[in-house]
Amino acid sequence: MSVLVGALLLGQVLGQAVTPPSSKASSTRLWSTSSAVNWNNSYLIGNGRLGGAVPGNIASELVYLNEDSFWSGEFLYRVNQDARSYMPEIQQLVRDGRVVEATNLADIAYTGTPLSTRHYDTLATWEITMNHSSVATNGSYERYLDIDDATSGVYYDINGTAYFREYIASQPAGVLAVRIASNTTGAVSLQAHIRRAPDGSLNRFEDFTRRVGNDTMVMGGNDASYPGIQFSAGTRVVAKGGSVYAIGDTVVVDHADEAWLYLQSWTTYRRDDPEAAVLSDLAAIEKTYPEIRAEHVADYQSYAHRVDLSFGNSSAEQRNMTTPQRVAAANSTFDPEFTSLFFQFGRYMLIASSRNGTLAANLQGIWNSLMDPFWGSKYTTNINVEMNYWPALVTNLADLQGPLDDLITATRDKGTNVSAAMYGVDNGGFVLHHNTDMWGDAAPQDNYIYSTWWASAAPWMVFHQMEYYRFTGDTAYLRQVYPNLKSAAQFFVGFLSDYEGYKVVNPTMSPENAYYPPNDNTTAVAITLGATMDTELLWELFNGIKEANQLLQLGDDAFVEQLQALEAQLPPYRENYFGGLQEWIHDYQEAIPGIDHLSPLWAAYPGNQITSYNMTLFNLARETLNHRLQHGSAAGGWGASWCTALSGRFFRPDWATHCITHLLGTQLNPDSLLNSGAPSEFQADANYGMPAGMMELLLQSHESISTAGSSSGYSPPGAYGGSSSANQSLTAAFTGDVNKVPLIRLLPTVPEAFAAAGGGGYVRGLRARGGFEVGIVWDAKAGLVSANITSLVGGTVYVTLGDTPIGRNNGTAIKADGAGSGVFLKLTTQVGKSYAIGNA
């Protein structure tokens, strides 16, 4: 597009005032009065595929760029060629208790060759060099990230001339865009350039860079592997007033009134000729920046505005603080609006990093500034990638789970081969270890005793697909993903082996803990058989398949019977030496009692098998979390997020308070609110996971009530007594039973201190299993003011207030018009109808 046409496009926005942002007046902004010193205090923008980290430098801006498919190379086949032949020997050593020998053999016979999957790579830096001083006048500098409209801004004044830059990552337009304006005619002068190496010292893996016409530059290169992934990135500039021209590989703007910069990037993962695709897209931009911005905001808000959360009002002093100041104070004083902002920031990150057609959000979402990031910024499948998607369903972003489904499909495709080649299980089953990459690499990752010997990731991954059905009631989706569930189970049908009368996974481990073998309190080991987490995952998987088969009338009864026979032989749950839930097949002394990874509690969260209906098992699990916390667990961000969710399920607001305040006050990069995740730049999992954990304090729907009049699953009936009320006849149902309806718990674990500090609060737009949308209002004592439940698919649901176990009747009665009142209120709903809930 010519400079003249570009100038005409700008005409309609001339004269817009450039004024201070006054971010302290906004409850939806992260903001600071200085630019980011470190990359991880930059503000993040993203459209699912493209990501940018904006530090907000005054004169020399460096926007760190990412494209979600730019990884370190193409698919690697890494199955150890000797794994299958040595697997029986490894298993026998574990059975014999010779676990050190088993570990030594696994070091060379189990591990992948090479050890690691591909890793996520940084793309380039978008350099915007302003032709003015690098020092703002009179403390005028301010930058922000607005979670309400997904815009980031930088404002400053230099000797009376004010400048403003706004950054967006538009999903509808498919580009990153920047608007640069001033309050002075002709004051915008700059140079725009893209380079591969973040420090600018070398053109590492940069194969070409050149201008195209007078307003565009393009560059490209590769990931340094062979065969590799090729990429290209380009920027185009449109300006009003002054002049736009290109010299060498730099686009120059002289004395313009305003400028718009656009960035596009592609790789050979999606485009055969990335350079041609970049140039075509940039040349095709005809809409003005205001038009692109308006479409971007509308698209983003169609997701973000589905949920509205308020923990109440912050004080005037808190509202006047910058974001770094609020982080510094968060560990000692509850800040209601800041806590709500952090919740919405997690949802913002998921919207920015996971859209249909993109790759799944990885360990750092889609943002990474390093060519060799710590932990590879991959998909860690023993907690982290699953945690990334915890908020998708409950916080009303279910349509962002598609990239995770795609990742599961990719791992199944590769994992069936690994199952056969590594384990000799060639029955259509797929296996997945504790890491994967964008190609779905399913071979073991690393040579790390605390995580490598674990082949149980597939049941956890496909659990998300069963949960999607539970939240949405979408049987067509369940039918579509059923082969994934079945394939995950088929692997274990072929791999489970015998030990002391049980069917066990061997080898395995309890991620990421270790134990001391009998008569040895100095040698910590991890390899084992029949870990409790395996029992939990397989119980859920096998019974989920049973339930899906009956719901969909698939006729897969013979396979279901086979799974039920195996499930009956899984190791039972037992009490361990400190009164908690035993973590391993034997009651070993744990080596890391304060480990953040809460493996044996998976069945309490995110699973649904451990509930207060069976108080014996519930108390064992609750004591395990107590024990962990007493030894320093929840020290890291993702550990605090998992702890918060479990605290909600265990009805312990005091534990939840500790975990939330610890994360907000000590585990965040203070400007950006990114989970610190040391030694990596940051880990996105806690940013995604904590919003889901918080919602377990306000709303739960993982329990079910039997419509057949008797309990199902493992849980003994009559675990709780009760009064003579009809509620006493209610019994719980579990995965595997189709004769059930969901139970919605309102305000089960709200910390009273949080409610008091904010003067009450509300949430609107949450989703509950069974296909319901829920809003709740609570008072300053964490008591119910009102609730509203909208039925999206019809059906029956029970509703209760607080933590009263199913089958007991000593709770607080609630009521709804036309449904009467009771501790457990039964609603027979109609599609699209809303039901007001209040105190009886």
DSSP sequence for 332-371: TS--HHHHHHHHHHHHHHHHHH--TTSPPPBTTBT----S
Q: Per-residue pLDDT averaged across 784-807, rounded?
A: 97
pLDDT at 717: 29
pLDDT band per the 50, 70, 90 thresholds, residue 623: very high
Amino acid identity, position 810: N
**Distance between CA atoms of residues 138 and 141, nearest Å:** 8
pLDDT at 719: 31
pLDDT band per the 50, 70, 90 thresholds, residue 10: very low
- What backbone torsions phi and psi does residue 259 show, to the nearest 5 degrees? -140, 145
pLDDT band per the 50, 70, 90 thresholds, residue 721: very low
pLDDT at 205: 81
State pLDDT tens for residues 725-773.
345 589 999 999 999 999 999 999 999 999 999 999 999 999 999 999 9
pLDDT at 227: 80
Choice among 2-11, 408-417, 474-483, 522-531 with the minimum mean pLDDT = 2-11
pLDDT band per the 50, 70, 90 thresholds, residue 202: low
**Distance between CA atoms of residues 476 and 558, nearest Å:** 23
pLDDT at 722: 29
Contact 644, 601 (CB under 8 A): no
- Whether 714 shows a pLDDT value over 80: the answer reads no
pLDDT band per the 50, 70, 90 thresholds, residue 14: very low
State pLDDT tens for residues 797-829.
999 999 999 999 899 999 998 899 999 999 999
State pLDDT tens for residues 377-416.
999 999 999 999 999 999 999 999 999 999 999 999 999 9
Choice among 111-115, 137-141, 548-552, 563-567 with the minimum mean pLDDT = 137-141
pLDDT band per the 50, 70, 90 thresholds, residue 199: low
pLDDT band per the 50, 70, 90 thresholds, residue 16: low
**Distance between CA atoms of residues 262 and 52, nearest Å:** 12
Half-sphere exposure of 652 (CA within 13 A, CB side): 21
**Distance between CA atoms of residues 443 and 631, nearest Å:** 33
Residues linked to residue 745 through DSSP beta bridges, in sequence order: 700, 800
Instruction: Kindly provide the residue ranges of all beta strands, DSSP E only, lying in 584-698, ordered along the sequence.
Output: 589-590
Give the mean pLDDT of the chain.
94
**Distance between CA atoms of residues 7 and 241, nearest Å:** 7
Q: Per-residue pLDDT averaged across 184-203, rounded?
A: 85
Task: Return the closest-CA partner of residue 223 out of 446, 69, 48.
Answer: 69
**CATH number at 83-113+354-633:** 1.50.10.10
- Whether 17 shows a pLDDT value over 80: the answer reads no
Give the 3-state secondary structure of residue 209: strand
Cα three-residue angle 583-390-547, rounded to 5 degrees = 75
pLDDT at 718: 29
Contact 253, 244 (CB under 8 A): yes
**Distance between CA atoms of residues 586 and 570, nearest Å:** 14
pLDDT at 724: 27
Task: Return the closest-CA partner of residue 774 out of 724, 821, 725, 837.
Answer: 837
State pLDDT tens for residues 493-523.
999 999 999 999 999 999 999 999 998 999 9
pLDDT band per the 50, 70, 90 thresholds, residue 678: confident
pTM for this predicted structure: 0.96
Domain 3-71+120-305, architecture per CATH:
Distorted Sandwich (2.70)
Give residues with Cβ within 8 angstroms of 838, minimum separation 6: 784, 786, 787, 814, 815, 816
Give the 3-state secondary structure of residue 276: helix
Q: Look at the block and give the residue holding tokens 């509620």.
A: 727
Contact 817, 836 (CB under 8 A): yes
Q: Per-residue pLDDT averaged across 72-76, rounded?
A: 96
pLDDT at 673: 97
* Structure-block tokens of residue 203: 């053109």
pLDDT at 393: 98
pLDDT at 8: 43
What count of other Cβ atoms lies within 10 Å of the Cβ of residue 476?
Answer: 8
Between 715 and 812, the higher pLDDT residue: 812
CA-CA-CA-CA dihedral for 557, 559, 562, 567, to nearest 10:
-90
Contact 742, 703 (CB under 8 A): yes
**Distance between CA atoms of residues 233 and 9, nearest Å:** 24
**Helix/strand/coil (H/E/C) assignment for every residue in 9-25:** HHHHHCCCCCCCCCHHH
Amino acid identity, position 783: G
Q: Is the peptide bond before 679 cis (omega within 30 degrees of 0)?
A: yes
Contact 450, 509 (CB under 8 A): yes
In whole angstroms, how far apart are CA 770 and each of 84, 647, 698, 791, 799? Answer: 43, 23, 17, 9, 12
**In which residue ranges of the chain is CATH 2.60.40 found?**
704-839
Count of residues making up the chain: 840
**Distance between CA atoms of residues 270 and 364, nearest Å:** 21
pLDDT at 574: 98
pLDDT band per the 50, 70, 90 thresholds, residue 598: very high
For strands 795-801 and 740-746, give the pairing.
parallel
**In which residue ranges of the chain is CATH 2.70.98.50 found?**
3-71+120-305
**In which residue ranges of the chain is CATH 1.50.10.10 found?**
83-113+354-633
pLDDT at 723: 30
pLDDT at 478: 98
Domain 704-839, architecture per CATH:
Sandwich (2.60)
* Structure-block tokens of residue 284: 């095709």
pLDDT at 198: 63
Give residues with Cβ within 8 angstroms of 654, minimum separation 6: 751
Contact 827, 799 (CB under 8 A): yes
Please state, for a pLDDT cut of 90, what percent of the chain lies above it: 91
Q: Per-residue pLDDT averaged across 21-36, rounded?
A: 96
Q: Per-residue pLDDT averaged across 209-217, rounded?
A: 97
Residues linked to residue 525 through DSSP beta bridges, in sequence order: 515
pLDDT at 409: 98
Contact 91, 506 (CB under 8 A): yes
CA-CA-CA-CA dihedral for 378, 384, 389, 390, to nearest 10:
180
Contact 531, 508 (CB under 8 A): yes
